[in-house]
């Protein structure tokens, strides 16, 4: 019985193997990604359309789990000698990928070698800046980008007679009012506590998070986010946490349900939250720019991105690289970018796609989808707002979260917590610097 099954399976394997192998000299391109649901459909459609548009290359998308899983799978596959051609890596993995000289093929080099037309200027600088060297060379190809926005429950705000806040002091006042008017457990809250309250806060106020342009200019960077702005901000959160005018909602986005359920009427998180809000919220909502401190000169600056980019892995043949380059050109097409933007809610990555969506009146119905773009392009990016490139960012964020939690729980002062977060983070950065390929 078992043997017969085995025979059948072997026969099947042989037939499949024969039908797929050579004959047509199609070069296969493996694309590992971390998209689920509607976004997975977008990926499949992109691959199918590309495969139908020509007959030399075949892009095969494979879902590999969440962002961290996909990255770990890619690293493990590389160590075993069979990495995919294209790998979707979230923004916090950027430094790790970049440090792996030889493991990755920089996109600007790939495009030049494959002879593809490639002008980095057509992409939105606020997005590409994150994935480029300080000389403007694009290392990875931006794919899905988002930014932090402030989601507001318009119905509850109206009920409590609160205007949509623009600055942090206004936000705190609004939260107090909400807290006293039917929201005793949450005046305002947010996800990704370090992203919102350290990383974006710093960029938005043109204050450094770390030296060397937040790590973009070298791995010998030192954390600097224990300055007056960040300390003042955390102190305020600690104070408001006491009576739940602010209520901490965790390190990741597990607390987002508190907005859609109506518990929190003001909630800071990624613009990519829009799919869930749209599907679940039974109230009028909007996403507005992050608040700022008006006493900081020049604020607000511009926000930085979240999301992921596509990294091309090293050690593949010239023919394969040609296919990858063609695929990236295919993705850059204006109509295609408009499609991705509309279908996923992530940002368009080219200027032309943004202009087109605007011209079509897309943002009239869905103004919240333009908010992250307005934030990103608010001002010309500076050293402090171009992006972040810190090694071991996933773990760094956990360490920073640990310290922020200590402060919110009243075990440390805001200053002590941030000093300790900087100190512990620096140890990890030095460790990363030691292992980075020179």
Under the rule (CB under 8 A), what is the footprint of another protein? 68, 72, 75, 78-79, 96, 99-103, 185, 241, 248-252, 254-255, 257-258, 263, 392, 394-395, 398, 401-403, 405-406, 408-409, 411, 428, 431, 434-438
Shorter beta-carbon distance to another protein: residue 170 or 405: 405
Q: φ, ψ for residue 348 (rounded to 5)?
A: -70, 145
Find the length of the chain. Answer: 438
82 to each of 20, 66, 73, 77, 97, how far by Cα in Å? 19, 20, 11, 5, 16
**Closest approach of Cβ 98 to another protein, in Å?**
11
- Report yes or no: 33 and 62 within 8 Å, Cβ to Cβ: yes
**Closest approach of Cβ 369 to another protein, in Å?**
26
**Closest approach of Cβ 30 to another protein, in Å?**
17
**Closest approach of Cβ 92 to another protein, in Å?**
10
Shorter beta-carbon distance to another protein: residue 349 or 407: 407
Shorter beta-carbon distance to another protein: residue 128 or 401: 401
Shorter beta-carbon distance to another protein: residue 47 or 421: 421
Q: Which residues are within 8 A (CB) of 172 and not within 5 positions of it... i.e. 6 or more apart? A: 236, 240, 245
Shorter beta-carbon distance to another protein: residue 370 or 403: 403
**Closest approach of Cβ 232 to another protein, in Å?**
21
Shorter beta-carbon distance to another protein: residue 178 or 249: 249
Shorter beta-carbon distance to another protein: residue 258 or 386: 258
Shorter beta-carbon distance to another protein: residue 81 or 361: 81
How far apart (Å, rounded) are the C-alpha atoms in residues 5 and 33? 34
**Closest approach of Cβ 295 to another protein, in Å?**
29
**Closest approach of Cβ 390 to another protein, in Å?**
12
Nearest to 353, CA basis, from 368, 333, 370: 333
The distance from CA 16 to its chain's CA centroid, rounded to whole angstroms, is: 39
Q: Tell me the Ramachandran region of residue 205: left when phi exceeds 0, alpha when psi lies from -120 to 50, beta otherwise.
A: alpha
Burial pattern 333-361, b for ≥16 Cβ within 10 A else e, equals ebebbbbbbbebbbbbbbbbbbebbeeee
Q: Parallel, antiparallel, or unpaired: how do β-strands 86-90 and 305-313 relate?
A: antiparallel
Residue 330, preceding peptide bond in cis (omega within 30° of 0): no
SS3 299: coil
Strands annotated E in 48-130: 57-63, 86-90, 104-105
**Closest approach of Cβ 103 to another protein, in Å?**
5
């Amino acid at each position: 019985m078992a043997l017969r099954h085995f025979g059948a399976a072997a026969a099947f394997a042989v037939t499949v193997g024969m039908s797929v192998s050579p004959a047509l000299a199609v070069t296969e391109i493996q694309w590992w990604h971390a998209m689920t649901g509607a976004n997975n459909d977008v990926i499949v459609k992109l691959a199918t359309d590309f495969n139908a548009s020509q007959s030399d290359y075949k892009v095969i998308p494979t879902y590999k789990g969440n962002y961290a899983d996909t990255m770990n799978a890619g690293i493990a596959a590389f160590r075993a000698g069979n990495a995919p051609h294209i790998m979707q890596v979230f923004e916090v993995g950027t430094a790790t990928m970049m440090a792996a000289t030889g493991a990755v093929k920089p996109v600007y080099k790939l495009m030049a070698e494959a002879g593809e037309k490639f002008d980095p200027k057509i992409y939105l600088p606020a997005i590409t800046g994150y994935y480029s060297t300080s000389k403007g060379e694009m290392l990875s190809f931006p794919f899905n980008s988002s930014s932090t926005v402030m989601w507001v429950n318009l119905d509850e705000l109206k009920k409590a007679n609160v205007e949509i806040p623009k600055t942090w002091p206004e936000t705190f006042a609004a939260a107090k009012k909400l807290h006293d008017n039917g929201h005793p457990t949450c005046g305002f809250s947010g996800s990704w506590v370090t992203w919102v309250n350290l990383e974006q806060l710093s960029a938005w106020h043109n204050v450094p998070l770390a030296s060397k342009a937040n790590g973009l200019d070298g791995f010998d960077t030192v954390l600097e986010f224990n300055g007056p702005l960040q300390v003042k901000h955390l102190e305020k959160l600690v104070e408001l946490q006491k009576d739940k005018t602010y209520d901490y909602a965790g390190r990741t986005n597990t607390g987002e349900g508190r907005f859609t359920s109506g518990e929190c009427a003001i909630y800071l998180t990624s613009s990519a939250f829009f799919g869930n809000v749209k599907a679940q919220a039974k109230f009028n909502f909007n996403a507005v720019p992050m608040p700022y401190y008006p006493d900081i000169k020049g604020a607000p600056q511009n926000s930085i991105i979240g999301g992921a980019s596509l990294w091309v892995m090293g050690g593949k043949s010239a023919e394969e690289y040609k296919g990858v380059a063609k695929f990236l050109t295919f993705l850059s097409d204006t109509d295609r970018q408009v499609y991705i933007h509309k279908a996923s809610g992530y940002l368009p990555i080219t200027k032309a796609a943004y202009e087109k969506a605007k011209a079509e009146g897309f943002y009239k119905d869905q103004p919240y989808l333009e908010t992250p773009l307005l934030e990103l392009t608010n001002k010309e990016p500076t050293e402090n707002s171009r992006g972040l490139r810190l090694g071991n960012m996933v773990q760094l964020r956990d360490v920073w979260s640990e310290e922020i939690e200590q402060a919110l729980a009243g075990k440390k002062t805001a200053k002590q917590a941030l000093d300790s977060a900087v100190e512990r983070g620096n140890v990890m950065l030095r460790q990363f610097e030691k292992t980075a390929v020179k």
